[in-house]
Structure formats: structure tokens, C-alpha cells
Amino acid sequence: MNGPKTPPSPSVLRPVAPRPSRRRSPHGRADLARRGCWVVGLVFLLVSPALLAAPSASVDVVRLWIEVLDAQGRVSEDLGATDLEVQEGQGAAPQPVSILGRGLRGDGRLVVYFDQALASPGTVRRAADALAAEAGALRRIGDVEIVSAPLDEPPELQVRAVDPLVLSERLSRMALTERGLRRPLEIRERTLVQWRRGAQSTPSMTQEEKVQLVLGAVEEEIELVEQRLDQLLAWVTAQGGDDKGLRVLAPVLDGFDLDPLSFYATRLDGSTSRAVLAAAPTLVDLEARARELAATLAASGWTVLPLAMPLTEGEQRAAEYSAIESSAGGGAGGSGGPVVPGIDDQTTAAPGITIRPGKLFGRGDDDEPEETLPPVALDDPMEPLDLLARASGGEVVTTDRALRDALARIGARIEIAYPSRLPYEAGTARIEVLTTRPGLTVRAPRYAARG
């Protein structure tokens, strides 16, 4: 099994300290020693002569799956154990590495997790189609689980497939039926509309009402994201599994902003902006929450491969045109114009409301034509996805070609092991896999579970 080893029976992972590796308890190890089973430890040491130099006391073996790439991003295939080492904590002495195997064995686990609340219709459609085309490569990882996570219902397993044809057929069907709600944008659009109506009403909205409106929207968005992250973690931990190989988690979503408040703060007048920012310390720190999740997943042996595959610019313009035509002609599928694939009848509105924030919040030239106003959007939705991917040795996938290349690199991964010197009760430990050969880059988990 990759990464830190899981216990024989599945258990729910603690949010900060992930479930321990499959390490024998101190009592169990003492019993084995009394039975003369010291041979077990010797067998592992014989895998790599480099490990013979390590002291025998307090040694616990940690396994990891890694990629090693050259300057052109190609997999380095001639790497030896002496070319790698692992550092546990800043300033710690590097530990020797043993290479246990190269390439996948088909005994791993892949979870494709469609998050309807955080994904747009275009991303759902494109990701499902791209995954269907790569069904064979997905199956080479191991068992494949396709999960749908609706907005107001628990996640549901759609299929656990071992046959690539079954997997491809189900994914192709989900490309046509799975919903994408882009909920954070809906919250922002609704808030801006309420702001505009309040500004135009008589009497107009007071500053306190403006502040409460914005804070309520920010808190709603943060609560939504927190709930989705908790739900994702609960699914991958509660399902257990007897996989012994690589674990890959592929969440399908457009991402989210770690600081939703900044979207509004940059669009408010000075006094309102200061009042909103003054209340910011009471808000949940989404960045800290995302980093905690990233460490937990990585230490639990999951390689995270976020699939954020939105519509292209041309498709986006076509979707906006289709939305305008549909609104004028009676809705999607009517006489108002064509419907772009991936935009279904429950999301026919354009990706954002077409009102310029400066005008909406009492700034700018009111004579500017409304059709020139930009849509609402997320500020930096890739930031948390990059965070999740980097911590686990994964990568963010945004195109069909990127998915194909990422799966090819995953197929050539190396399984390594090293003797940990950290106390077993240390919790989640920061680690770094290094290479002694110049010009190479290692993509590996940055956390390991200790206790």
C-alpha cells in the first residue's frame, strides 16, 4: 500500500491526525520478537543495502508513491535507490530509501468525486467525457469508484467498476446527466442583485445593512465550502478498502476562493469596506482549513488529482450567447437559440450576472452601456486545488491532454520505502523526498502519518 500504511480495520480519520499506518502495536511487536520473528525485519533490510546502515531501534517503515521528472517533464526511468532520500522535518538528517517497485500493479484505488456544488456544468461534462476516453488507464490503477455528491444530499456511489467498458459507459452517461451548480457564484450573483435593489430603493440601504448583507454572503460561501470539504474527507475515509497499491482521489470541481471576502471588499466604498474588513477576524480561515485537509489526505496515502476542466473561451462566449437567446425565446431548447453542450436547462443563465461591480456599488460612470459590464467570477479558484495537489504529490488537470499525460506519469510511478525516525505518536509529519541527481524534480507526498 502506498504512503503511510493503514490499520487492518478501517476507521474514520481524525481531521488533524490521520489514521495511523499499518504498523504493529508495540505489544504485538514484542510478542513477535519473543517468537523469534526477527527475520521479518531482516527481509526488508535486504531489499536495499542502504538501509543496513540505519540503527535497528525505533525503526518504522513508511511507503510512498512518487514521480521523478527530468527538465522536460518526462519520467526518469533509470533512477536507483541511492539517487533518493527522505528528510523528516526541517534540518533532519536524510534517511536512505529502498525502491519496492516500478509501475502500477492494478491493486490500487481511484475515487472520481463529482462535487455538484463546486463544479460548473461545463466542467462536469468535459471531465466525464475525458475520463470515459481514458477508462483503460483508470482501471490500471485498480478499483475505480465513481461518486456523485449532490448539493443537499449525501454523496452516492454511482458505480464501482472493474470493466473499462462499463466504466466508460457510465461516465459517458454522467456527462449528459450529472449536474453542475457552481454554487459560490450563485451566492455572489444573488448578493449583488440584492445590493442593487437596496441601493435603488427608497429609502436606500444603510451602511449597516450593506455590511450585514456582505458578511452574510461571505459566511454562507465559507460554510458551503467547509461542508463540501468535510463531506469529501468523510467519504474517502469511511469507505475503507483493502487496496494495497496507489490511492488516487480525483475531485471534479471548479475550485473556490480561499478568501471570499476579497471579492466584495475590493468593490465597496471606503467606509463600508473598512466596516466589513473589521469583522473579518470572526470568519473561518478557509486557507487553514484547506491546508489541514491537504495534509490529512496526503498523510493517508491519497494522491490528489483535481479535475478543473471548464469551458474554453469560445465555448464560454457561445454559452453566454445561448443564455441571452434562451431568455428571449422562452428558455433552453426553445426557439431562442442553440444550447451549448454542458449547459443544461437548470443553468441557462450566463456564467455571471452582467452588471459592472463599480456601477453596482455606486462607482463609475452610470452612462456606460450595461451590456459592457463584466460577469461575476471567482478570484483565484485554482489556489486551493494547487494546494491539495502539491501536498499529496498530485497535479491539477485542466484539459483532456493534461489528463492523458497525468495518467501516463501515474502509471510510471515508483513505490519507495524509508525507515522513519519520528516518534510513532508524532501525528502528521512534514516530509520531503529529495533526489541527489541534478536536473530532476520529485513529485511526492509532503506529509506522512505518525500515530
pLDDT digits (tens, 9 = 90+) for 422-435: 876 667 889 999 99
Model pLDDT, residue 451: 54
Q: What order of strands is seen across the sheet that includes strand 95-96?
A: 95-96, 84-88, 427-435, 447-450
Model pLDDT, residue 59: 59
Q: What pTM does this model have?
A: 0.76
Q: Which positions ≥6 away from 313 have C-beta within 8 Å?
A: none
User: Residue 62: beta bridge partners?
Assistant: 418
CA 406 to chain centre: 15
Rounded-to-integer distance, Cα 379 and Cα 223, Å: 18
Q: What angle do CA 72, 78, 81 make, to 5 degrees?
A: 115
Strands 84-88, 95-96: pairing kind? antiparallel
pLDDT digits (tens, 9 = 90+) for 274-306: 888 887 777 788 999 999 999 999 999 999 999
Phi, psi for residue 358 in degrees, rounded to 5: -60, -45
Give SS3 for 232.
Answer: helix
Q: What order of strands is seen across the sheet that includes strand 247-252?
A: 156-161, 142-149, 108-115, 247-252, 302-304
Q: Quick check: 372 and 284 in contact, CB under 8 A?
A: no
Model pLDDT, residue 427: 76
Model pLDDT, residue 310: 84
Q: Quick check: 319 and 265 in contact, CB under 8 A?
A: no
Long-range Cβ contact pairs of 193-201 (< 8 A, separation 24 or more): 193/353, 195/360, 195/361, 196/355, 196/360, 199/360, 199/361, 199/362
Model pLDDT, residue 87: 94
Per DSSP, 420 falls in state: E
Rounded-to-integer distance, Cα 92 and Cα 384, Å: 28
Name residues of the chain where pLDDT drops below 70. 1-59, 239-243, 313, 315-375, 424-426, 450-451
Model pLDDT, residue 275: 82
Model pLDDT, residue 210: 86
Q: Quick check: 373 and 356 in contact, CB under 8 A?
A: yes
